[in-house]
Amino acid sequence: MSEAIAAHGHVAVNRRYWDEEAATYFGPLARDHWAAPHPRWGQWSIPEAQAAMFPDDITGRAAIELGCGTGYVSAWLARAGARPVGVDVSRSQLATARAMQREFGPDFPLLLGDAEQVPCGDASFDLVISEYGASLWCDPNRWIPAAARLLRPGGRLVFLRPSPLLALCEPGEGQAGTTLRRAQFGLKALDWREVGGAVEFTLAHGDMLRLLRDQGFVVEDLIELQAPDNAGPGFSTSSSAQWAHNRPSEEIWKARLVAGA
């Protein structure tokens, strides 16, 4: 990764990627997500009853989705009784989110902004959530502190991201195999621009645990998701359903900000 990308140039790279390329590809999926009667998470459509991404006491709670994309997670939150705000760096993605609001409802605020420096006040939210948003496309050493700043003491951070194992096995073009293609030590950013992608971030488990602890979080759960036996191809080409049935391609982190942290 170049020094320019390492010095936060990834924000512009990823904004351009989502505005010019991925919004066209993932836009058609937005309608399916918004029309879904119940939340289903990740590439393998794991039901909310199994993933439990939403806290039990979500009704009336202020929530913010970092890297909201087309806004369907925030829509699910609103339907569950929360008061969500969606933040995304891509104008194209937010335009799709607003179109989905007009078609399906409900309405909630959608903000154009960088999830690593969110334009919202300190201690304003009870829940910070991300599914393949900030959790993948933002520098964790910047967006995790941003999440801690946004949360009230006792607030929850929940995010779904690709497994570090997938990052170790992913070739860039084609699907992950059983060969380790890069070192785990020092794993952080993967620059896929040469193969038509953008900049993704993945910390190994130990590094993520230490980062969360240093920001005042207590990790309450880490769920490694398994693709079901009858899984379809999913929305990503990173791994096959069989690969993800035998080893984790995705994982959910759940953490709580310690009072007084």
The total of structural domains in the chain comes to 1
What pLDDT score does 63 carry? 98
Of residues 57 and 213, the one with the higher pLDDT is 213
Mean pLDDT on 43-71: 95
**CA pair distance 201, 236, nearest whole angstrom:** 16
pTM: 0.93
The closest alpha carbon to 13, from 207, 190, 147, 183, belongs to 190
3-state secondary structure of 160: strand
* pLDDT value at 1 more than 50: no
- What CATH number does the domain containing 119 carry? 3.40.50.150
**CA pair distance 234, 45, nearest whole angstrom:** 8
Task: Tell whether 210 is covered by a domain.
Answer: yes
**CA pair distance 53, 79, nearest whole angstrom:** 14
Q: What is the pLDDT of residues 71-123, one digit of tens each?
A: 999 999 999 999 999 999 999 999 999 999 999 999 999 999 999 999 999 99
Locate 216 and state its tokens. 């005042």
Task: Tell whether 191 is covered by a domain.
Answer: no
Look up the domain containing 247 and give its range: 3-162+205-257
Q: What is the pLDDT of residues 38-48, one digit of tens each?
A: 999 999 999 99
Task: Tell whether 168 is covered by a domain.
Answer: no
The answer to whether the CB of 59 falls within 8 A of the CB of 65 is: no
Task: Tell whether 169 is covered by a domain.
Answer: no
Task: Tell whether 175 is covered by a domain.
Answer: no
Task: Tell whether 178 is covered by a domain.
Answer: no
- As a whole number, the mean pLDDT across the chain is 91
Task: Tell whether 193 is covered by a domain.
Answer: no
Task: Tell whether 174 is covered by a domain.
Answer: no
